[in-house]
Amino acid sequence: MMKAKIEKILRDKFHPQSLEVTDDSAKHAGHNPDAQKGGTHFSVLVVSDAFNGKTLVERHRMIYAALKGPLGSSVHALAIKAQTP
């Protein structure tokens, strides 16, 4: 469910040519209290024209901003690859 929500948000916001969202939570189970409370770990690869002319930091900020409002603190960790086509 969370994966589908992330995919929808990123598709709607960035209209990516390529998008991969991976739930990595099982790899991190038990490593901290947040994981025990349901904190999730995801990796995303977003390839979009929206990142043209943006630095790596700006791209990451764009993705965090898109996800933060709708998801709040339900995602404990997010690994990002944001690329141009």
Q: How many CB atoms lie within 10 A of CB 54?
A: 15
10-19, 34-43, 65-74: least confidently modelled range: 34-43
| pLDDT attached to residue 39 | 58
In tens, the pLDDT along 25-47 reads: 766 555 555 544 555 888 999 99
When divided into structural domains, the chain yields a total of 1
Among 2, 45, 47, 9, CA closest to 23: 2
Q: CA 49, 68, 60, 53: dihedral to nearest 10 degrees?
A: 40
Containing 10, the helix (H) or strand (E) segment is helix 2-14
* Bigger pLDDT: 55 vs 26: 55
Q: What percent of the chain has pLDDT over 70?
A: 82
Domain assignment of residue 9, given as a range: 2-83
| pLDDT attached to residue 53 | 97
Cα separation, 22 vs 58, whole angstroms = 22
**CATH number of the domain to which 74 belongs:** 3.30.300.90
